[in-house]
Amino acid sequence: MNIALIGAPGSGKGTQAAMLTQHYKVERISLGDILREEAENRTSLGEVVKKYMQKGVLAPDNIIQEVIGKKIDTNGFILDGFPRTIRQAQMLKKILDQKGTNLNKAIYLKVNQEVAVSRLSGRQICPKCSKLYHVVNMPPRIKGICDNCGSLLVVREDDKEDTVRKRWEVFMNQTHSVVDYYLKENKLLEIDASQDKDKVFKEITKILG
């Protein structure tokens, strides 16, 4: 099962990626998590990408290519946050061709801005295992503490209102065209992601089988 999840910030990509990974027993590749970890560890790559992430804009393709090329596994994957431009979609096709495999489906999690912003405004993340929470919709068992690993939850720096607005703009201007790309490739599956996370998951798995 080779899947890419496409969606605006707050569409539920991370949540669905975690659920689908467990269900299909494949690897989750979250570009955002990988880049955040690099930034946290202050690696040379991390120091470069941090500036882009803080502004809510996309990191350069040469960096993304370096990261993604090493991560793609031929035993199946759920891509979360990649591809985000047509060039990245072409990059993915080339990598998969070289590995003798291909993408099965690109799932577009369609959501309106109002729903997405309300989800992001209460979002918390575990800095250690990347599990996502929401103070109202998906709270941890103990306030502020990760259910999985006991770490203190944090709010992502780029979930602040101004940066969220910028990330939406980037999605509309640079990423939305990827939806048309996969429509033409006959790989697109569009899902109403404004629904509850379990309903979204059910719809996806019903279609994927």
- The catalytic residues are 13, 84, 123, 156, 167
Residue nearest ligand AMP by beta-carbon distance:
32
* Nearest distance from C-beta of residue 209 to ligand AMP, angstroms: 26
How many whole angstroms separate alpha carbon 189 and alpha carbon 59?
Answer: 26
Q: Which two tokens stand for residue 180?
A: 């048309």
Which residue from 118, 157, 133 is spatially nearest to 32, judged by alpha carbons?
A: 157
Which residue from 108, 91, 98 is spatially nearest to 180, judged by alpha carbons?
A: 108
* Nearest distance from C-beta of residue 118 to ligand AMP, angstroms: 17
* Nearest distance from C-beta of residue 46 to ligand AMP, angstroms: 11
User: Which H or E run contains 5?
Assistant: strand 2-7
The residues pairing with 123 across neighbouring beta strands, listed in sequence order, are: 134
* Nearest distance from C-beta of residue 88 to ligand AMP, angstroms: 6
Which of 47/207 has CB closer to ligand AMP? 47
Which of 90/142 has CB closer to ligand AMP? 90
How many whole angstroms separate alpha carbon 154 and alpha carbon 160?
Answer: 12
The residues pairing with 28 across neighbouring beta strands, listed in sequence order, are: 78
All residues at 6 or more sequence positions from 88 whose CB lies less than 8 Å from its CB, including other chains = 61, 64, 82, 178
User: Do 129 and 33 contact (CB within 8 A), yes or no?
Assistant: no
Which of 142/157 has CB closer to ligand AMP? 157
Which of 31/103 has CB closer to ligand AMP? 31
Q: What is the binding site for ligand AMP (CB under 6 A)?
A: 9, 31-32, 35, 52-53, 56-59, 64, 81-82, 84, 88, 158, 167
